[in-house]
Structure 1
Amino acid sequence: MNPALSFPPMPAGANESIIKPSLSFKKQVYRCVGAILLFIITYVLMFVGALAIAVVFAYFGITIMESLSSFITLILGGALIGSGLMLLFFVIKFLFKRTRTDYSGMMEITEQDQPQLFEFIRQLTAEAKAPFPKRMFLSADVNAGVFYNSSFWSMFFPVKKNLKIGLGLVNSLNVSEFKAVMAHEFGHFSQRSMKFGSYVYNLNKVIHNMLYDNDRYGRLINSFARMHALFRLFAWINIKIVEGMQQILKGVYVVLNKTYLGLSRQMEFHADAVAAYVSGSNQMVSSLQRTNIGQLCYTGLINYWNTQLGDNKRSANFYPQQLEMLRHFSRKHNLLLDDAGLPVITNGIADLIGGSQLVINDQWSSHPSNDDRTISLERINLITPTVTEPAWLLFKNAEQLQLQLTDSLYASAKLDNDIAAVDLEGFKADFYSAIDKNSFNSIYKGYYDERGINAFDIDEAIINPVAIPSVGIDELLSDTNCSLPRTAETMQQDMATLDTLIDVRKDIKTFDYKGVKYKSTEAQTVRNLIEKERLHILKNTEELDKSLFIYYYKNCKTEVNQQLLAGKYRNLFKYQAEAIKDYDLYNNIMSVFSKVYNSMTAENIHSTVNTVYNHEQQLKPRIQEIIADEETRSHINEDELKAIDKYLKSKWVYYYEPSYDNEAIGIFNAGVGNYISAVAKRNFELKKDLLNFQTSLA
């Protein structure tokens, strides 16, 4: 290993009892064994039953053909024998299904390619008392994982595991955190219980094959049924027996998978314990936080470049740009950067981005929440010093790897030969230009983002400002105040989650809110509490909007500026009110028009199109008003205006039986889309102009 790079130490005084399976772990193992046995017994009974039916059908079929030698008896006997054989085939057809491990999106590396990384991993596996990976792969994403080539025979013979390392993850961690994440993965390597994963995976393939992978079987039984009416009768009997088997298998599937997912969550806690034992609890906790932010920035960058493909641009190297996104995130949330240029996180990411305080322990989740993992790790409380160098120092020819994995991200995209590959400087120029264009002054700390300013009586606020507390701008724009809209939005999402819990997810028995555990029967009560608190926050937001206007109005040095500020507020309030109606018109027609992308009968299609025409009687006159309005017209370019005019000039026929007119549908989408885009751009620019003017007054 590079002599300039220190191998992160193990925690002093770590006791091996830490990595012994817990009582909860053992209980889940026993439950998983029971679920697997349940499946095996169920399947054996199904197989024996199908075999018995096939034997009985064959016996009677042969007997009938031998004793009554006529054409119809030959048909009857053949139908019996064929039906029995097909039923037997149904329960064993999974044996003939071939599966291959998907290596797409992954690049294998060898020790010759990456000697320092392999040396690091070899030393780590020795500390973790885990076997060295059979093969090692790199991927583009923010992830690391253990996988193996699971087949029917892997249930009976040992299978060596492979290690996958995502470069987006490497980009987000220092060396100590990278060691912690790798130690977590090697915690899985050392778990005998991973064997159950092979069992469950393969048994699930059996169930899936018998429940859903029946196209070939369906064609076979249809061909059988077309031979004769008697064949059709026994095909129907066959189908009814198969449907009965499938109902039983659905129940077994629920038991098998819920049990295994419970074990998977315990396996994650155990792998975390191994990581703490080898690298320190603090490093694993830090890696969880850094990985979350790395994923957030990675996803944001993917979305950014997806929008750029339309302009024939792509990323030249994804990873320096992801780092720039991490640094932008740090600046936005006032986080310090460490020696590797990575954000220093003192609290969880939920605290930074206004995360939910609702936690549901979902039986169908394979991983515990990061909060639960953090609590478990902090309970272990093993601390090690941090090697702050970036994890990239473990990789040879890092830039070449980055370029190769960046290219892999575009492997499935259809790119023009002359597409421009944008480097870091080009990305920064465009990215920050877009941020400046599409965001408000940073003094507001995101307070006005993605919402309208609450309307109030401007004249009353000017005449009676004493109703507003006289405080400074720092207090008005405190972090707590600026987080109010995001908090209200999160509460709205939590209420929607609880609605699902109340109406749909009857399988969830408990949930946590603000650290307090509740029964699912208390979900409505908690929802009411959240709604009450949300309404209080919305009221505070309304008052704060008004207070900010009065603060800036009082700080105007001239009467002209006071009039300008009040006028800008009045103008914005007017267009905000109109926009509500515009969005209603847009959403109403699009909710109907979206149905054309579904399969419908001709009668339903005609009904849908007629409803669209009814909505257009209101929408088209409104669009005429919009493009006649000078304020809105200034936010529509010539191409957009042509698309709107083309849509307005005619009553387009969207459906000529038996097919849709795709050209007319395209004209509708372009015209209506440009109309609502103009409304959104107008309101954004009006609000931005107002807020910039406010800032200039202080």
Structure 2
Amino acid sequence: MNPTLSLPPLPANADRNIIKPSASFNKNVYRSIGAVLLFVITYVILLLAAIGLAVAFGALGVAIISATASFLTLVLGAALIGSGLMLVYFVIKFIFQRNKVDYSGMVEVTEQEQPMLFDFIRQLTAEAKAPFPKRIFLSADVNAAVFYNSSFWSMFLPVRKNLTIGLGLVNALNVSEFKAVMAHEFGHFSQRSMKFGSYVYNMNKVIYNMLYDNEGYGRLLNSMSKLHSLFFLTAKINIWIITGMQFILKKVYVVLNKTYMRLSRDMEFHADAMAAYVSGSNQVITSLRRIDIAQSCYNELLNYWSAQLSKNKRSDNLYPQHLVMMNYYAIKNNLAQDVNGLPVITGAMDVANASQVIIDDQWSSHPSTTDREHHLNIIDLKTPVVHSSAWSLFHDAEKLQVLLTDDIYASTSATAKTERIDSSAFKEDFYKDVNEFLLDKIYAGYYDGRFINNFNVDEAVALASSQKDLTLGELLKETNTSLPTATDRMQQDIFTLQNIVERKDIKTFDYKGNKYKNKMAVDVVKEIEQQRQEAVNKIEALDKSIFMYAYNVATDEDKALLVTKYKRLFALQDNSATDFELYNNTMAYFNKVYNTMPYEQITSNLANVYREERKLKPRIKEMMADEQTRPYITGEQLAATESYLAANLVYFNHPTYDNDAIVTFNEGVSAYISAIGKRNFEAKKDLLSFQAGIVKGN
């Protein structure tokens, strides 16, 4: 180990009992054994049944041929014998399927290339009493994972596990947190119950093969059925029997996988305990929180570059740019930053506006971050933080970053001629875009992402004098500024509960700490809808009250201008309601062109598109000529709208869609609706900046 690198210490006086499997863990191991045995018994029964039917069909076929020698009896006998053999083949055809390990998106590293990383992992595996990985791979994403070549024989023979380390993960952690994440993975290395993963994986392959991977089998059966009507009849019998087998397998699939998912969640808790034992609970908790932010920023970064690729631009190195986005996240959320510029997340970051509907998802292989933190806090082992970046463990880090960045672009339309954008140019463009849509901090996000509720401005002016007891602190207190976010959260909770009503596999859910049965979701929805409407009413009243406060403290000259700006914004918002309605109505039909449908449905759907276009096109022409809208459309967007308006587009020429026409539509309509949104936002930003200046000057 490099002597200049300060490695994170083990927690002092840690009790090894914390890494003993829990009672729940052991219980779910036995349940998984039972589920595996259930599958084996079911499969053996199905195989014996198929063999029995094949023997019966064969015997019947031979008897028919022997009884009366004719062409029809020969055909019927052959059809029965063939149907029986096809049944046996259906049950065993998974054996002939090739198993190919996919290493795409991963780059293997060796000890010679990364000596410090290998030394780090060697010491850590010794502390965790886990085997050293067979192979170590790097990937581009925010992740770390254990995997192995799960073949048929891996169910019976010992298989060494591989380790994958995502560079997006390395980018987001200090050495202490990186040790915690790696220790979690080595917790999995030491779990003998991971063998069930191989069983379940291979059994799922068998089930999937028999349920869905039947294209080749279907072609073979179809070819046989075309030989004669009697072959067609026996093929129908074959399909009827197979349908019954598939019904049974679907039931076994549910039991097998739900049982294993329960075990997987306990395995995660156990791996967390191992990580806490080796690195400290505090390091595991902060790594979990940091990873959530890193993943969100990484996704946003990929979306940004996906849009830039259409302009023939790409990132030269994603990882410094990923840091820029995490840095911005910290600034936006008023979070402290560590020596590496990464956001420091404390318990206070657990916002009250998180969803209050909790579902015990039987199909989830990982417990929630909240549940994991709860278990880690019970363990309560602390270690000091080593603040060095996790990159300090890697040799020639920049070379690795560029290598994995290039690997991402290898599967895109990027070429050698695509312009590579460095971090400084990215940061300038990113912050330009961010600042363009940034509202004054005084509002604490209250007006973000929404219209200001319309009210009668003249009426509010008349009432303002009676509202002089209002204070800015009361108006913009946290319980008020968080209301829009709370309404969004409540709407999402309503969607979640409506989904619970439709799903029969979710028996119970928690809401605000209380457990409810599935059938009570409708009543809880009504409760939330009432609370949401109350919050919406408060927002409407608050929008008006903030105006009245600003009006009261403004100078006479500013009063008149404030009124003018509010009236202009409200007029634009009312005016754009027509635009958004036309756009949404048209896109409701146009988006269906991306769905597969019969020709008659395509014709019917496009008739609706053309009908909506007859209303949309004149409106676009009108808005592009409007002096209030024109300044907010770029030359490129103007060209796109003009190209769309000038063309008489036909989106489908039998038997295919016209992709050029579809692109022209999308570019023209997107430019139009973008200009409307930009115009409204700029009017809102101008108003709120002016209003902020008034109240700050008071």
Q: TM-score, normalised by structure 1?
A: 0.96
Q: CA RMSD in A?
A: 2.0
Tell me the amino acid that sits aligned with residue 30 of structure 2: Y
Question: Which residue in the other structure is 2:516 paired with?
Answer: 518
Query: Once the 2 structures are TM-superposed, how far is the Cα of residue 688 of structure 1 from its aligned partner?
Result: 1.5
Match for residue 225 of structure 1?
225
User: In the alignment, which residue of structure 2 is the partner of 1:184?
Assistant: 184
1:346 alignment partner in structure 2: 346
Supply the AA of the counterpart residue of 1:271.
Answer: A
Matched, 1:688 2:685: yes
- Name stretches of at least 5 consecutive residues in structure 2 with no aligned partner: none
Which residue of the partner structure matches residue 7 of structure 1?
Answer: 7
Is it true that 1:423 corresponds to 2:419 in the alignment?
no
Report the Cα distance in structure 2 between the residues aligned to 1:252 and 1:508, rounded to whole angstroms: 18
CA distance in 2, matches of 1:203, 1:137: 27
Describe the superposition over 1:248-295 as per-residue Cα deviations: whole angstroms up to 9, x where unpaired: 111111111111111111111111111111111111111111111111
Distance in 2, Cα, partners of 1:652 & 1:425: 42
Could you say if the C-alpha distance between residues 286 and 145 of structure 1 is closer, same or farther in structure 2, counting changes exceeding 3 Å? same
Matched with 2:583 is: 586
The answer as to whether partners of 2:181 and 2:287 remain within 8 angstroms in 1 is yes
Deviates further, 316-325 or 520-529: 520-529
- Does 2:623 correspond to 1:626? yes
Secondary structure of 1:630's aligned partner? coil
Structure 1 469/260 Cα, relative in aligned 2: closer, same or farther at 3 Å?
farther
Secondary structure class of the residue paired with 1:417: coil
Change (3 A) 1:436 1:79: same
| Superposition deviation, residue 235 in structure 1 | 1.3
User: What secondary structure, in the 3-state scheme, does the structure 2 residue paired with 1:311 have?
Assistant: coil
Give, in angstroms, the shift of residue 651 of structure 1: 5.5
CA drift at 1:476: 3.2
**1:675 Cα deviation (Å)?**
2.3
Question: How far, CA to CA, are the matches of 1:384 and 1:653 in structure 2?
Answer: 67
**TM-score normalized with structure 2 length:** 0.96
Q: Determine the structure 2 residue equivalent to 1:49.
A: 49
Range that drifts further, 89-98 or 461-470: 461-470
Q: 1 CA distance for matches of 2:189 and 2:349?
A: 29
| 1:391-470 paired onto structure 2 within 5 Å | 391-468=390-467, 470=469
SS in 1 for 2:340: coil
Q: 2:552 aligns with which of 539, 551, 554?
A: 554
The answer on whether the counterparts of 1:356 and 1:494 sit within 8 Å (CA) in structure 2 is yes
Counterparts in 2 of 1:464-503, with a 5 A limit? 464-468=463-467, 470-502=469-501
Residues 1:255 and 2:255 aligned together? yes
Say whether residues 1:570 and 2:572 are aligned partners.
no
Secondary structure at 2:268 match in 1: helix
Query: How many residues in Structure 1 have an aligned counterpart in Structure 2?
Result: 695
Find the aligned partners of 1:345 and 1:469 in 2 and give their Cα distance: 39
Q: CA 1:138–1:668 in 2, change beyond 3 Å: closer, same or farther?
A: closer
Contact 2:467 2:549 in 1 (8 A): no
Cα distance in structure 1, aligned partners of 2:460 and 2:394:
62
Structure 1 residues 348 and 129, CA, compared in 2 at 3 Å: closer, same or farther?
Answer: farther
In structure 1, distance between residues paired with 2:42 and 2:571: 68
Equivalent residue for 2:126? 126
What residue identity is the alignment partner of 2:572?
Answer: Y
Please tell me the residue identity of whatever aligns with 1:75: V
The structural deviation recorded for 1:348 is 6.3
Distance 1:8 1:671, change over 3 A: closer
- Other structure's SS at 2:142 match: coil
1:165 is matched with 165
Q: Distance in 2 between matches of 1:652 and 1:689?
A: 38
One of 499, 505, 515 as aligned partner of 2:503: 505
- How far, CA to CA, are the matches of 1:37 and 1:469 in structure 2? 75
- d(CA) in 1 for partners of 2:51, 2:252: 21
- The alpha carbon displacement at 1:474 in A equals 4.4
Distance in 2 (alpha carbons) for counterparts of 1:482 and 1:139:
40
Would the aligned equivalents of 1:188 and 1:271 in 2 still touch at CA under 8 Å? yes
Q: CA-to-partner distance for each residue in 1:113-165, whole Å, 9 max, x for gaps?
A: 11111111111111111111111111111111110000011111111111111
Tell me, yes or no, if the aligned pair for 1:293 and 1:349 is still in contact at 8 Å. Answer: no
2:237 alignment partner AA = I
1:195 and 2:195 correspond: yes
Within 1, Cα distance between the matches of 2:334 and 2:680? 29
Q: Distance in 1 between matches of 2:662 and 2:429?
A: 33
Asked if the contact 1:146/1:189 (under 8 Å) is kept, the reply is yes
Sort the Cα spacing of 1:74 and 1:261 in 2 relative to 1 into closer, same or farther, 3 A. same
- Answer yes or no: is the 8 Å Cα contact 2:146–2:189 preserved in 1: yes
Which amino acid letter does the alignment assign opposite residue 278 of structure 1?
Answer: V
Partner in structure 1 of residue 597 of structure 2? 600
Distance 1:582 1:197, change over 3 A: same
Using the TM superposition, give the Cα deviation of residue 549 of structure 1 relative to its aligned residue in structure 2, in angstroms: 1.6
Q: Which moved more, 1:407-416 or 1:42-51?
A: 407-416
Moved more, 643-652 or 481-490: 643-652
Residue identity over aligned pairs, in percent, reads 58
SS of 1:517's partner is strand
Displacement of 1:553 in angstroms is: 2.2
Greater alpha carbon shift after TM alignment, 140-149 vs 538-547: 538-547
> CA 1:86–1:539 in structure 2 vs 1: closer, same or farther (change >3 Å)?
same
Amino acid at match of 1:46: L
User: 2:464 touches 2:551 (CA, 8 Å); kept in 1?
Assistant: no
- For 2:359, the equivalent position in structure 1 comes to 360
Q: 1:33 to 1:109 in 2, by over 3 A?
A: same
- Alignment-derived partner of residue 530 in structure 1: 528
Offset of residue 54 of structure 1: 1.1
AA at the equivalent of 1:536: E
